[in-house]
Structure 1
């Protein structure tokens, strides 16, 4: 670590050097039972909060990102949403005071299964309470209040963060004037649940997972590699896979060429396999498997209809914001664009001026992370009009 941190850090936690920390209410109650003592949430900020404290924008993230959405003086390394956030960019830190929180349950600075349990002095592992999207939303709300912000100008949520944002708006009425939901949803659909179930199974069936009791020497690498590959397959579209890789085979310069040898006649052969392998290797050992399991399951459990007698549109209609924008990619199979259309429809029923935009991006669910020519102007236009 490049900084002194005010709490114990385990080898399974990966905290950006620019992170700041908010201590949650202790005990912090969890939706499905249990409490956390001495819990924290990591966050970063950009820009300046104005005198009236009404120019704050909150970003809540997908499953794996940390709070480092963009470079800053505290951490000049590029962030995961670098082209979207900063002076003059679509989320203009010259106008907005931007806060990005790392989800409760993560291993990127916020308390999760990899953190030290103060009751035992050891990592929580599977002793961590059952985690819900609602818990993540409540923790984010505490960060906002802790910064002295009574009402946000906008809350932006992408992917899992779209779920978190909707939960935040429902559970904390009046916390934001507006909302941008990017490739998010009001509930998990069967296809997404099925994929995440397989990802969790791959981790749990790795012998090294050992019911959550692994360490650096016995990290469940195979399970995490397969889980990551399954995820990456669903993050992009079949159109992009075909256009980008076709049926091109590995050449001799590839680090994965012939890696199986005679002892593994079914080793990597195509460039698309090499791409997946590279993604997986960059992810494993940079994310805690137990945290992955907890956050993945929290998405499957989420359904805004639970708050409205089984009707998701009625649940969305209970949210009160002045304006809303729901954006998605028409090629997204993980959070299909119909779900963003549903969000706009439901928020409009609640009185919001809500707009839906379906982007003709070939890049599937990950489009908001790479197709800035399409997503950037939409976000900029909405924020500039506030």
Structure 2
């Protein structure tokens, strides 16, 4: 656990969009830099599905964060200028209240009794955290992947609470392909006998289901160009192959297995299920009488930067264009940046040079 991690207690009861409420809930967050006297230099980062609040090293935790190259003194998100907050999503097991947390009413983990989770709940938790820090309006709200959808929810639910927005590799609603992939990921977990209706423990744990779910994710986070370039059809050496029928034969299979094994016991399966479904449910069109453009036009901003990557199959470029067009129609001054990074959806974690140039350049104009 990070020493830099802070906790904010949400008001009780904390009402959830789809019914039910949480009592005694909290969210984990970390901060970098200092809030100025005017309290107008705050930047909030909302994360993708699996990252923690530890976006970068800081004095209390020098270990590298998931966006280490992007955030810090003199970097694109310059912590000598900005007071940066990164929140772990409500429902995530990286410090925030989630299905693995103990329900104070029963003394037992929530598991599947956790209320239905929506990205609007994540957004409302974030807004409450920001208000608790004495910040009325964010200088900039940054949302990456799932966090980009949470950011759209934040801005549509809390008008004029954000001056500028950076949208990174996200979407205004999940497309059928993304829903299909996430549905398969959830099915892999649910069909693992050790999932046991959400009642697993360390000795009976859905390792296989989580492994398959992670492999499906990794396949969609990168592009075919990246897979071809890195692995081609290279086979494993004879001594690296599995001694069983239909075992791993190609390097790409071994790579996916390694990724899965590093992930499996680091993320609570029920939390994964809840956040995955929340991503499928989110639809900005709900706020625009069934129209994505109508929903986006309800967001009032001064400036926005929308970044997408041409090789992203999970959140395709046309969806980022949709966000840019909608925010422009709402009156924002919008920059749209389409990158050709070969890494697909994960480019924002890998192609730091090009994302830094875009994000740093935009923040310099604020």
TM-score, with structure 2 as normaliser: 0.99
Are 2:246 and 1:258 aligned? no
Q: For structure 2, which runs of at least 5 residues remain unmatched after alignment?
A: none
For residue 41 of structure 1, give the secondary structure of its aligned residue in structure 2. strand
Does structure 2 conserve the Cα–Cα contact (< 8 Å) formed by 1:16 and 1:108? no
Are 2:258 and 1:278 aligned? yes
Residue in 1 that maps onto 2:109: 123
Q: Give the superposition deviation at 1:17.
A: 3.2
Are 2:152 and 1:169 aligned? no
Residue in 2 that maps onto 1:11: none
For residue 45 of structure 1, give the secondary structure of its aligned residue in structure 2. strand
Structure 1 CA distance, aligned partners of 2:350 and 2:338?
16
Residue in 2 that maps onto 1:3: none
Structure 2 CA distance, aligned partners of 1:164 and 1:235?
19
Are 2:308 and 1:308 aligned? no
For residue 177 of structure 1, give the secondary structure of its aligned residue in structure 2. strand
Q: Give the superposition deviation at 1:356.
A: 1.1
For residue 28 of structure 2, give the secondary structure of its aligned residue in structure 1. strand
Deviations 1:336-361 (A, max 9, x none): 01111100100011110112111011
Residue in 2 that maps onto 1:35: 21
Structure 1 CA distance, aligned partners of 2:190 and 2:2?
28
For residues 1-386 of structure 1, the aligned pairs below 5 Å read 15-251=1-237, 257-259=240-242, 261=243, 264-386=244-366
CA RMSD of aligned residues (A): 0.8
Does structure 2 conserve the Cα–Cα contact (< 8 Å) formed by 1:317 and 1:350? yes
Q: Give the superposition deviation at 1:211.
A: 0.2
Structure 2 CA distance, aligned partners of 1:374 and 1:275?
26
TM-score, with structure 1 as normaliser: 0.94
Q: Give the superposition deviation at 1:252.
A: 5.1
Structure 2 CA distance, aligned partners of 1:73 and 1:122?
35
Q: Give the superposition deviation at 1:73.
A: 1.1
Structure 1 CA distance, aligned partners of 2:345 and 2:302?
27
For residue 145 of structure 1, give the secondary structure of its aligned residue in structure 2. helix
Structure 1 CA distance, aligned partners of 2:85 and 2:236?
43
Does structure 2 conserve the Cα–Cα contact (< 8 Å) formed by 1:327 and 1:340? yes
For residue 216 of structure 1, give the secondary structure of its aligned residue in structure 2. coil
Q: For structure 1, which runs of at least 5 residues remain unmatched after alignment?
A: 1-14
Q: Give the superposition deviation at 1:174.
A: 1.5
Q: Give the superposition deviation at 1:121.
A: 0.6
Structure 2 CA distance, aligned partners of 1:347 and 1:297?
26
For residue 138 of structure 2, give the secondary structure of its aligned residue in structure 1. coil
Runs of 4+ in structure 1 over 3 Å off: none
Q: Give the superposition deviation at 1:258.
A: 2.3
For residue 37 of structure 2, give the secondary structure of its aligned residue in structure 1. coil
Residue in 2 that maps onto 1:8: none
Aligned residues: 366
